[in-house]
Amino acid sequence: MPHIQPGDDVAALLLQACAQAALPLQDGDIVAIAQKIISKAEGRQVYLPDVQPGERARELAQATGKDPRLVELVLQESTAISRMKMGVLIVRHRLGFTSANAGIDRSNVAQTGSDETVLLLPLDPDRSARQIRQMIMEKAGVQVGVIITDSHGRPFRLGTVGVAIGVAGIPALWDRRGAPDLYGYRLQHTDVGMADELAAAAGLLMGQANEATPVVLLRGLVYPVVENSAATDLVRPPALDLYQ
């Protein structure tokens, strides 16, 4: 994949990359796409000197030691603060999930001078996934699943893992309730976070540094095609969230 610029057609570039790699997409394939190239294509870069932090952002910046301009963007992208201390600001993102700094990041973002350009998450990653899937179906004539991935930390566990923030064409959650185990016991509470598991698998190849692999092709998985699935299906409702 080339370096993505605002306005680029990610679906077209993805199909071009597949052709160049002699890996034409097939029915049943799943493409996992790093959030960063979606955000870049959708023009979600923000130049920090253009941001005017408000009073609340300045207060939180002093409490966390973070740039008040970054904190202002975090507040704009979130609905509630989950946890904070020096060096840490964890919020409930407007998309529903909880993450550090509302997913705002500067890694793998080109800088014109000092490190002052950051990247916000897509406005609607599920919609972005649906649009890319539709374009692939129209241009290549194949039924595929699409996952837009990001890297998140987790309560009680160290290390970031890939998660799905946008899903189209595959079940985000795989309901296994009622399925028998090896001894005939019927599963009672098993909902598999299928899209997250695939995002984590793709993350092993995408990497976090200079691997330059923002798209991973997953092939060989048997799954039901679900037209109305979305990554928002994975978000635990606030009433059931003991960790927010």
Sequence ranges of the domains in the chain: 1-42+122-235, 45-120
Which one, of 48, 46, 47, 69, lies nearest residue 58 by Cα? 69
pLDDT of residue 189: 76
Cα 43 versus chain centre, distance? 16
pLDDT of residue 244: 64
Give me the CATH topology for the region 45-120. Answer: CofE-like fold (3.90.1660)
CATH of domain 1-42+122-235: 3.30.1330.100
pLDDT of residue 113: 66
State how beta strands 145-154 and 30-34 pair.
parallel
In eight-state DSSP terms, residue 95 is: T
pLDDT of residue 157: 86
pLDDT of residue 188: 78
CA pair distance 14, 3, nearest whole angstrom: 12
Which residues does the chain have with pLDDT short of 70?
A: 113-115, 244
pLDDT of residue 121: 96
Encoded tokens for 218: 């997953």
pLDDT, tens only, 9-42 = 999 999 999 999 999 999 999 999 999 999 999 9
Encoded tokens for 217: 């092709």
pLDDT of residue 135: 96
pLDDT of residue 224: 82
